[in-house]
């Protein structure tokens, strides 16, 4: 089913997805968060409304801030039938940040989260295709979704899925399947999680980058190539040479590059970090710590050091810390003193403090 066909899944209980983003959460964000473009937009009947109609310029001290959400104007447009779109919510809304992080760890691909808040009896977008797979998670109200056969755009056949989706229901739509949605009698809130999958084309691109220094790639085309009678033959020969060159690419190098890129470019999840930093001086051997929810940590050997991939960056540490680091990762929680088999008291306190600062560990009160 992955990447092949759409799938509708009904709610398994009555909790829905309100813990990710409720209607009250939407109201709180609009009324008090002061979002700036491009974190939001308004859409009506498939068209994005001019931002000048619902944004304003404000000042913080002597600095002007443009594109700030005008809450009163947004509410007015929503009442007139506009859909409110929150973009990139995984970057600033903690419940979705944690959800996306767990999904990334499960799927092994980057994800993003947008949210759509549609008034009763309205449609935000006409039938369209997305450039990546998506999960639709209905949080509030009911929305009727139609999903059509791949690339049947504009739709000419009966939809594959034509269903009203309520709180807790979810929908999986692979790339290339046209879809549209409209609200029923109530307002609707749903989250769309986009799967920004790495593809075999990504692998090919990396192989091409590795080959860019070779003369086969760097040589210019012949002079007056547009009038060159033998150009097709020359292109055929060069493509064959390039194919042979790519076939010799070091698969291990490409694999490691993609792996490290994924494990060092994720959005950090740091809720509560200020309290952790302020309590660093109180850390003792009797302090109980655990890995922060949503944290990523993968260890890899790197010459005479240990590479610590933390999701949003890479740390290099002395190789003699590896046993202590692995002990930390193997336990749900542990006392600092549990590291005594690997480090003396001073060293284990220094290590745990460093991992708290880096956002991997938290002290449990």
Rounded to 5°, the CA angle 298-301-303 comes to 145
Q: Is residue 318 part of a domain?
A: yes
- CATH number, domain at 341? 3.90.930.40
Q: Are residues 224 and 353 in the same domain?
A: no
Q: Are residues 157 and 225 in the same domain?
A: no
Whole-structure pTM over 0.85, yes or no?
Answer: yes
Q: Are residues 228 and 188 in the same domain?
A: no
Joined together, the tokens standing for residue 25 give 């959460």
Q: Are residues 56 and 133 in the same domain?
A: yes
Q: Is residue 92 part of a domain?
A: yes
Q: Are residues 281 and 223 in the same domain?
A: no
Query: CB under 8 Å to 213, separation ≥6 — which residues?
Result: none
Task: Please tell me the predicted confidence (pLDDT) of residue 24.
Answer: 97
Q: Are residues 301 and 188 in the same domain?
A: no
Q: Is residue 51 part of a domain?
A: yes
Q: Are residues 186 and 206 in the same domain?
A: no
Q: Which of 170, 195, 220 is the last residue of a domain?
A: 195
Task: Please tell me the predicted confidence (pLDDT) of residue 196.
Answer: 95
Q: Is residue 2 part of a domain?
A: no
Q: Are residues 191 and 207 in the same domain?
A: no
User: pLDDT tens-digit profile of 99-110?
Assistant: 999 999 999 999
CA dihedral 16, 21, 27, 31 (to 10 degrees): 170
User: pLDDT tens-digit profile of 258-294?
Assistant: 999 999 999 999 999 999 999 999 999 999 999 999 9
Q: What is the pLDDT along the chain (365 residues), one digit of tens a residue?
A: 678 899 999 998 777 899 999 999 999 999 999 999 999 999 998 889 999 999 999 998 899 999 999 999 999 999 999 999 999 999 999 999 999 999 999 999 999 999 999 999 887 678 889 999 999 999 999 999 999 999 988 889 999 999 999 999 999 999 999 998 887 788 999 999 999 999 999 999 999 888 877 767 778 888 888 888 889 999 999 899 888 888 888 999 999 999 999 999 999 999 999 999 999 999 999 999 999 999 999 999 888 899 999 999 999 999 999 999 999 999 999 999 999 999 999 999 999 999 999 999 999 98
Q: Which of 156, 173, 195 is the last residue of a domain?
A: 195
Q: Is residue 299 part of a domain?
A: yes
For residue 66, CA distances in Å to 15, 33, 34, 35, 59 come to 39, 15, 11, 11, 9
Q: Is residue 268 part of a domain?
A: no
Q: Is residue 336 part of a domain?
A: yes
Q: Are residues 211 and 286 in the same domain?
A: no
Joined together, the tokens standing for residue 279 give 């309590």
- CATH number, domain at 42? 2.60.120.650
Q: Which domain holds residue 231?
A: 200-249
User: pLDDT tens-digit profile of 70-84?
Assistant: 999 999 999 999 999
Query: CB under 8 Å to 286, separation ≥6 — which residues?
Result: 335, 336, 337
Query: CB under 8 Å to 169, separation ≥6 — which residues?
Result: 8, 9, 10, 11, 138
Number of domains composing the chain: 3
Q: Is residue 263 part of a domain?
A: no
Average per-residue pLDDT in the chain?
Answer: 93
Q: Are residues 72 and 177 in the same domain?
A: yes
Q: Are residues 37 and 71 in the same domain?
A: yes
Q: Are residues 156 and 75 in the same domain?
A: yes
Task: Please tell me the predicted confidence (pLDDT) of residue 219.
Answer: 83
């Amino acid at each position: 089913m992955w990447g092949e066909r759409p799938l509708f899944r009904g709610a398994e209980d009555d909790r829905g997805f309100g813990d990710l983003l409720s209607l009250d959460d939407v109201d709180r964000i609009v009324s008090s968060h002061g979002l700036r473009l491009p974190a939001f937009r308004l859409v009506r009947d498939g068209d994005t409304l001019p931002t000048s109609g619902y944004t304003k310029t404000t000042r913080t001290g002597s600095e002007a801030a443009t594109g700030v959400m005008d809450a009163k104007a947004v509410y007015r447009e929503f009442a007139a039938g506009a859909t409110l779109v929150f973009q990139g919510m995984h970057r600033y809304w903690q419940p979705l940040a944690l959800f996306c992080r767990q999904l990334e760890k499960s799927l092994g691909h980057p994800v993003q989260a947008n949210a759509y808040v549609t008034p009763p009896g309205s449609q935000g977008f006409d039938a369209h295709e997305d450039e990546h797979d998506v999960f639709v998670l209905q949080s509030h109200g009911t929305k009727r979704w139609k999903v059509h056969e791949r690339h049947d755009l504009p739709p000419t056949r009966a939809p594959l899925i034509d269903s009203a989706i309520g709180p807790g229901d979810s929908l999986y739509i692979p790339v290339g399947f046209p879809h549209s949605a409209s609200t029923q009698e109530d307002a609707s809130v749903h989250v769309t999680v986009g799967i920004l999958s790495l593809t075999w084309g990504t692998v090919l691109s990396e192989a091409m980058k590795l080959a860019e220094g070779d003369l086969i790639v760097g040589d210019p085309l012949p002079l007056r190539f547009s009038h060159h009678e033998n150009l097709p033959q020359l292109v055929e020969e060069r493509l064959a040479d390039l194919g042979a060159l790519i076939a010799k690419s070091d698969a291990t190098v490409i694999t490691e590059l993609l792996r490290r890129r994924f494990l060092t470019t994720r959005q950090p999840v740091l809720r509560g970090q200020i309290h952790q930093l302020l309590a660093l001086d109180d850390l003792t051997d009797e302090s109980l710590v655990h890995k922060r929810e949503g944290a990523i940590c993968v260890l890899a050997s790197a010459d005479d050091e240990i590479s610590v991939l933390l999701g949003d960056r890479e740390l290099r540490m002395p190789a003699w810390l590896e046993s202590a680091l692995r002990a930390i990762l193997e336990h749900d929680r542990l006392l600092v003193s549990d590291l005594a088999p690997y480090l003396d008291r001073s060293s284990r306190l220094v290590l745990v403090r460093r991992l708290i600062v880096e956002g991997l560990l938290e002290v449990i009160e």
